Amino acid sequence: MRPAGIPNRNGTGRVEVYHNAKWGTICDRDWDREDAEVVCRELGMIKAIHETRKAKFGLGYGPIWLSGMQCTGKENSLLECKHDGWGQASGCTHKDDAGVKC
């Protein structure tokens, strides 16, 4: 996982995940503070300040890997959270890319 886009510093940016040898984004469908908490924890940050939606940090490219994230906020990795399935982001575009500010 990596923060990307602008400003992409200090745990702030569009959330991208690596799957099947490709970086891709996460759709903001159901994206909330609990999801952001897990991302920030995985990045080694203390906590999430807030989650962002609607490609606040710029449009991603490549696949939209995940959507419908359902983290409780206690997980150590975003991959421990329930979601709609890899590549199951029907109706999402990069205008819906999720981000975080840690």
DSSP 70-85: B--S--SSGGGSB-S-
Q: What is the pLDDT along the chain (102 residues), one digit of tens a residue?
A: 555 554 456 788 999 999 999 999 999 999 999 999 999 998 888 889 989 999 999 999 999 999 999 999 999 999 899 999 999 888 999 999 999 999
Q: What's the CATH fold of domain 18-101?
A: Mac-2 Binding Protein (3.10.250)
The pTM for the full model equals 0.87
The DSSP call for residue 94 is: G
